[in-house]
Amino acid sequence: MRIVFAGTPEFAVPCLRAATGRNEVVAVYTQPDRPAGRGRTLAPSPVKREALLRGIEVLQPENFKVPVSREALAALKPDLLVVVAYGLILPQAVLDIPTHGCWNVHASLLPRWRGAAPIQRAIQAGDARTGVCLMQMEKGLDTGPVLLKQAIDIGADETGGQLHDRLSELGAQVLADGLGLLRAGIRPVPQPQPAEGVTYAHKLDKAEARLDWNRPATELASTVRAFNPWPMAEAQLAGERVRVHGAVAMPLAHDATPGNVLAAGRDGIDVACGEGALRIRVLQRDGGKAITAADYLNGRRDLVVGA
């Protein structure tokens, strides 16, 4: 099959590798190079780097609004367009170009968590399970019928980064299964998404990363896990701004003001929340690196209480 692949971040790289397995990937679409690093020099996307290593032509239009962009895609005569975290909404005129339309690999069990950040939102909401769906794309945002899916459990201590990596590999597996069926002349049967259970995974915002000690500890612990490694949870801890890399909720009964330190020792720093307490285990000071609570307390002896 002649496949065109569209993707941008690291999450999409295993799917690109799966697409090249027994198919002809004639071109890769990815977002234009963006400024990155302290020097703000233009950097290629992870998908572009992988495509160039494999000798695949790379195309980077800003969008498909102009006819020349759509004509360039049509000239490739694709049997299928595979889209994985590309970062652009594709108009119907693009979806209609490939013979078999466009497939999308999405990191949730649709219709739950349509949208930009399904991995982090699943953890933040306390979901026990998530997965990957291979979806036939249509004009709506992640509304198309599901062709194949695989579900997995979310680990009790799993971070957004860890779940991202697992779902990235699972997505490649599901895509490979779908492509294998299509090569064999067996088109996966589209299953319309149910109308019930629709939720939206809105794009992550750094402002959300600030922990509000008035919230229940269970919510804050889920946020810490979900936002690791980005944007990373932030908190005011005894007058100092820190980033929280690892924390767990403690079902402690207290009458302390939220934000006060209840105890601090080798096991962590317990901070009073609206309900329970958040035990901070790994944190980072401004300009520093991630360290254990025990190492942090070596420089904050004023906090060692209740140990």
What pLDDT is attached to residue 211? 98
Pair 175, 19: CB distance under 8 Å: yes
The residue-averaged pLDDT of 186-204 equals 96
Q: 151 and 11 in one domain?
A: yes
The pairing of beta strand 58-59 with beta strand 24-29 = parallel
Q: How far apart (Å, rounded) are the C-alpha atoms in residues 24 and 161?
A: 31
Sign of torsion, CA 216 222 226 231?
A: positive
Q: CA angle, 102 as apex, 168 and 170 as ends, to 5°? A: 15
* pLDDT at 221 exceeding the cut of 90: yes
Domain range for residue 248?
Answer: 206-303
Q: Per the annotation, does 52 bind a ligand?
A: no
- Neighbouring residues of 144: CB distance < 8 A, sequence distance ≥ 6: 104, 135, 136, 137, 138, 190, 193
* pLDDT digits 0-9 by tens, 115-153: 999 999 999 999 999 999 999 999 989 999 999 999 999
Look at the chain and report how many structural domains it folds into. 2
Q: 181 and 229 in one domain?
A: no
Q: Per the annotation, does 16 bind a ligand?
A: no
pTM here is: 0.95
| CATH number of the domain bearing residue 214 | 3.10.25.10
Q: 217 and 187 in one domain?
A: no
What pLDDT is attached to residue 39? 82
Q: Per the annotation, does 297 bind a ligand?
A: no
| CATH number of the domain bearing residue 54 | 3.40.50.170
Q: 221 and 145 in one domain?
A: no
* pLDDT digits 0-9 by tens, 49-97: 999 999 999 999 999 999 999 999 999 999 999 999 999 989 999 999 9
Q: 299 and 169 in one domain?
A: no
Per the model's pLDDT, the better-predicted residue between 40 and 20 turns out to be 20
Q: Per the annotation, does 134 bind a ligand?
A: no
* pLDDT at 301 exceeding the cut of 60: yes
Q: 66 and 82 in one domain?
A: yes
Residue 307: pLDDT band (50, 70, 90) is very low
